[in-house]
Amino acid sequence: QVQLVESGGGLVQPGGSLRLSCAASGSIFSINSMAWYRQAPGKQRELVARLSSGDILYYGDSAKGRFTISRDNSKNTVYLQMNSLNPEDTAVYYCNFQQPGMSIWGQGTQVTVSS
């Protein structure tokens, strides 16, 4: 069984920064991609950033230029560095690992941007 645990969320002022972490426990067979999604109340879950095999990067329009996804293979951990945060970034953020034939989700961590 593989479990993903997010951390690093919280309350931050507009213009501030946060770094989210997602650590995988259990055995990892093969990872096709690691990604961060977010979901605000009344909104669909949206892809924020993705790191795929071959080090292929993707950023959603709202994240480009402000957020950075990275990984630490030795710790089976993916990070999301978020800078220049604004209230529109307020959401629950979820990490996701894609394996062959399986998609694994974390519980989510709340990010609130407010003065």
Total residue count of the chain as it appears in this document = 115
**Side chain identity at residue 44, one-letter code:** Q
Q: Are 40 and 48 in contact (CB under 8 A)?
A: no
Phi, psi at 32, each rounded to 5°: -85, -35
What is the pLDDT, as a whole number, of residue 16?
98
What is the pLDDT, as a whole number, of residue 76?
87
What is the pLDDT, as a whole number, of residue 101?
86
Q: What is the pLDDT along the chain (115 residues), one digit of tens a residue?
A: 789 999 999 999 999 999 999 999 987 777 889 999 999 999 999 999 999 988 899 999 999 999 999 999 888 899 999 999 999 999 999 999 998 888 999 999 999 999 9
Compute and round to an integer the Cα radius of gyration of the chain: 14
Q: How far apart are the C-alpha atoms of 19 and 82, rounded to whole Å? A: 6
Q: Are 104 and 96 in contact (CB under 8 A)?
A: yes
